[in-house]
Amino acid sequence: MRGIRISSRYAKSLLSLCIERGKVDEAFSDMTAVFNAIDGSRDLSNFLKSPLIKPDKKINILTAIFGNQIGQLTMSFVSLLTKKGREALLAEIAESFISQVKEYKNISSVILTTAVKLDESTRAKIVALAGKLKNGTVELKEEIDQTIIGGFVLQAGDKKIDASVVSELKELRREFEKNPYVAEL
């Protein structure tokens, strides 16, 4: 719990600085790259968490890894985190920053689960439906799950629309189980 609060505070500080300097989009891109790199590499994650490696050495290695990929502001932020001994939380801070920027820009993440890949016209209709659920821009993430048989499941924050065939079958099963008809013998 403490790590989440710390991550959120550092992310909020970076967002405030980026807003002040007009570098929100650049920092968003940079922190997305940092998060993806740490999330995709167990070695990098373990390196950041290692107490045996000195902060100066970590800064040099992080500069070698991210130096050409991220901007000066973000690199300075990563260096500051490392000097303060918070580099182990870098992935959580990056993830928190990404979600705070999305909230700042009023971008809603929506997960669409279907049994098959959708065509563009159907996708556009579902994005319009999701736009009604969440005001602002909609960022659609598509997942394919053949167990839902057909239809779709749309998850937008705490709201969920389940129009899948499997949920309809489950509802029918419940209706048949509580059938009030009793056969006479």
Dump pLDDT digits (tens) for 103-126: 999 888 889 899 899 889 988 887
- pLDDT tens track for 6-60: 999 999 999 999 999 999 999 999 999 999 999 999 999 999 999 999 999 999 9
* Strand, coil or helix: 162: strand
Structure tokens at 98: 């990404």
pTM of the model: 0.76
The whole-angstrom separation of Cα 70 and Cα 81 is 15
Handedness of CA 139, 69, 16, 85 (dihedral sign): positive
pLDDT in tens, 131-181: 777 777 888 899 999 999 988 898 877 888 898 999 999 998 888 888 777
Phi, psi of 108 (to 5 degrees): -105, 130
